Amino acid sequence: MEKYIALKFANTPGSVIRIALVLERRGYSIKALQTENFEENEYSQMMLTVTGEPEKFEQVLKQLSKLVDVINAREFFKEKAQIKGYEKAIPVAANMV
């Protein structure tokens, strides 16, 4: 089943590999991937389209969140993306715990 993940992470060397390793280890494939840097390239945002066993999806999100570089990892609902400013509503850095 296709799922979408929105990720915000500190743009450090290797962060994309770490994200890919979490997915690979749990049998998830990446169908599409788009990244964008912001705040003078200090942070990145990634939108992922992935497929894999649905029962492992929550674990994938948790393991992504656990990465030291990752600020947040959320399931992204495409239908909500039409709403203006939805992407920006995903909290960034300072106000995220």
Partner 1 sequence: MDKQKTIKNGAQVLIDCLEREGVEYIFGYSGGAALPIFDALYDSKIKLIMTRHEQGASHMADGYARATGKPGVVLVTSGPGATNTITGIMTAQMDSVPMIVLTGQTITKLLGTDAFQEADVFGLSMAIVKHNYLVKRTTDIPRVVKEAFHITNTGRPGPVLIDLPKDITSAPFTGDINEDMRLPGYKALAKADAASIEAMAALINASQRPVILAGHGALVSRASKEVKELAFKLNAPVTNTLLGKGAFPESHESSLGMLGMHGTAYANKAMLSCDLIIGIGCRWDDRINGNPKKFCPDAKKIHIDIDPAEIGKIVGPDAYAIGDAKLILQELIKKINPIDREGWMQEIKAFKKSFPLSYSHSENGKLTAQQVIDAAYKATNGKAIVTTDVGQHQMWAAQFFKTDEPDSWISSGGAGTMGFGFPAAIGAQLGKPEETVIAIVGDGGFQMTSAELSTAVINKLPVKILLIDNKYLGLVRQWQEIFLSNRYSGVDMEGNPDFVLLAQAYGMKGFNIKHSGELKQVMAEALAYTGPCLIHAEVIKEDNVYPMVPAGQSLDMMMLEPPKVKMEMPEGST
Q: Which residues bind partner 1 (CB under 8 A)?
A: 9-10, 13-14, 17-18, 21, 25, 43, 58-59, 62-63, 65-71, 93-94, 97
**Rounded distance, CA 77 to CA 25, Å?**
24
CB of 79 to partner 1, least distance (A): 26
**Rounded distance, CA 1 to CA 93, Å?**
30
**Rounded distance, CA 88 to CA 20, Å?**
24
CB of 90 to partner 1, least distance (A): 14
Closer residue to partner 1, CB minimum distance, 15 or 50? 15
